Amino acid sequence: MRKADLPNFCPNEKETTEEEVQISIQELGRKFEECVEKILQTKGYETQRRIRVKGKSGTPYEIDIVAKKGNIVRAVECKNWTNAVGREHLEKFWGTLQDLGSPWNGIFVSRAGFTADAEGYADYYNIERWDPDRVKEEWFELSIGRAEYAKSGETITVSNALPLNFDFLHTTKVDLENKEKVSVTGMISYHPYFIVNYSYYTRFKDPTKATHTFKDEGKVFVDGLDGTVLNPPPTKSVGTVVRTLKLIVSKEAREENTRNKRLIEELRTNLQLKEYNVKGGECYKVRVLKAVVSPRSIVKSAVEYITKKNTETIKYRTKEQEEEYFIPPKTLTYVPKSRDINIKSILLVNVPRWDLSFEALSKTYSREVLACSGTVLEDTLKHCPRHIGPFRKETIAICEICGQAFCEKHVSKCPTCGKWLCEEHGIFCHTCQRRFCSEHIQLKCDICGQRLCNDCKAICPLCKRVYGRQHTLTCEKCGKQVCPECATISGLLRKKTICKECQS
């Protein structure tokens, strides 16, 4: 294997040893729930683990971590799996949150990521998810301490970084009618990745002396925090076996994880690296994470990927087999030799990403945006949780009682005071179907018992009942408009309405 010059990306700092990195990774895997709890505590949450809580239906649920901060209560589900979390697990978690009701919010944490289906479901139902990147960043900062910060008014210099094209104001924009009810805080994080450029060429003779030529070139994208390869598992053409790589996470996580695809696209298309200063703001701070995996390990991860990608199954026929057509060909597996892999260059790229938190009463929403391209990785505020799939709708306002965001069908203004209310916390007038707050719809119809607004009430001139105007009957003799209790309808073919006063 011919190697490019290995980068010295931390020349002025005490080098974190490979052993320290491995111990940190092992601890994260072994004590996953405990590590997540510690991360939440550093964010100001009071936490409890393995708590049993009863839902509104009376069903008991065991919550991995209960996290509380002010009015916010969060149920945290942790999955320390090697496979990506699928949609069915998000559906089950959503059912739990629905049964728990207000003020519960959800965070689903997965060490192996989520399938594309699960990511979409989490976005639609406003479930915040913590992907491997998020967990690694927070844990490595906590356990190894390799991060620099800039708070409000402070400045930090970032090198080898993608441009910061999308600022805090742009990425925090919300198209809500009552956006003044939402507060936002955030962080711009710079995450280190390595781009390894390589080429591969070799010639091999099978037992029949036939020559096979193999060549390949491309890029391997490696996470600078733990050496994980972002590239999806290589799939060979039809006629050869499909080979998968199991470097850190599973085939499902790599094939279906939308996040990794978007990160790779960011690294492929936006390589205008710069050194610049970033200033912390009033509502956000800047974090620059330092690569903790040694250059040698970066190369090792890349070579392992390239080797498995280019491992070939060779079919050949001996002379005896050529005479017997129905005898299947022989096969052998050719594994590339490291000396045939040429590592041409290794480039460190710091990728800026906005991690944003929107708080609305007792609800918390999250949004992640790649700050160079503006690509959205996660947004739990955008879509109404009452619609999924191709019929999803965008939110227009939050309920000013519970803080849940909805589309125009499921949230509306109280016509009297202008407060936005959802179906659960607003009260419908049975007559006009408008939604009111509890203070401005206190009448009930004396005929059907349904709630009634002032605009839709009618008072019977005979019995003084208050009722909904849809029940009004008009006397055909005197023209009075009365309630059904004060009128008689007679006739078979032609119905005739007479009030009690005209009957006497």
Q: Are residues 367 and 469 in the same domain?
A: no
Contact 274, 350 (CB under 8 A): no
Name the domain boundary from 331, 361, 382.
382
Contact 213, 267 (CB under 8 A): no
Q: Are residues 375 and 461 in the same domain?
A: no
Q: Are residues 464 and 349 in the same domain?
A: no
- H helices of 151-213, in order, are 168-171
Q: Are residues 165 and 237 in the same domain?
A: yes
Query: Which CATH number does the domain housing residue 484 bear?
Result: 3.30.40
User: Residue 408: which of 416, 419, 400, 397 has the closest Cα?
Assistant: 397
**Residue 183 in domain:** yes
Q: What is the reported pLDDT for 127?
A: 86
Q: What is the reported pLDDT for 186?
A: 93
Q: Are residues 369 and 457 in the same domain?
A: no
DSSP state for residue 328 in the 8-state scheme: P
Structure tokens at 10: 């931390």
**Residue 303 in domain:** yes
Q: Give the number of domains in the chain.
A: 2
Contact 196, 348 (CB under 8 A): no
Structure tokens at 500: 């009690």
Q: At what angle do helices 87-100 and 116-124 cross, to 10 degrees?
A: 20
Q: Are residues 315 and 177 in the same domain?
A: yes
User: Residue 447: which of 458, 455, 462, 439 has the closest Cα?
Assistant: 458
Tens-binned pLDDT, residue by residue, of the chain (504 aa): 655 655 554 444 445 555 666 666 666 667 888 889 999 998 889 999 999 999 989 999 999 999 998 888 999 999 988 888 999 999 999 999 989 987 888 999 998 888 888 888 887 787 889 988 888 888 877 877 778 889 899 999 999 999 999 999 999 999 999 999 999 999 999 999 999 999 999 999 988 888 999 999 999 999 998 888 999 877 654 334 334 443 334 444 434 468 888 999 999 987 889 999 999 999 999 999 988 888 888 999 999 999 999 999 998 887 766 666 667 888 899 999 999 999 999 999 999 999 999 999 888 899 999 999 999 998 989 988 887 666 778 999 999 998 999 999 999 999 999 999 998 899 999 899 899 998 999 999 999 999 999 999 999 999 999 999 999 999 999 999 999 999 998 877 788 999 998 887
**Residue 187 in domain:** yes
User: At residue 44, what are phi and psi to the nearest 5 degrees?
Assistant: 95, 10
Give the DSSP H or E segment for 298: helix 295-309
User: In Å, what is the CA distance from 436 to each residue of 53, 285, 380, 452, 453?
Assistant: 32, 40, 27, 10, 8
Name the domain boundary from 366, 382, 398.
382
Contact 130, 109 (CB under 8 A): yes
**Residue 23 in domain:** no
Q: Are residues 346 and 474 in the same domain?
A: no
Q: Are residues 365 and 486 in the same domain?
A: no
Name the domain boundary from 382, 400, 427.
382
Give the domain extent around 293: 146-382
Q: Are residues 493 and 361 in the same domain?
A: no
What CA dihedral angle connects 463, 464, 470 and 475, to 10 degrees? 50
**Residue 223 in domain:** yes
In angstroms, rounded to a whole number, what is the distance separating the alpha carbons of residues 171 and 381?
13
Q: What is the reported pLDDT for 388?
A: 67
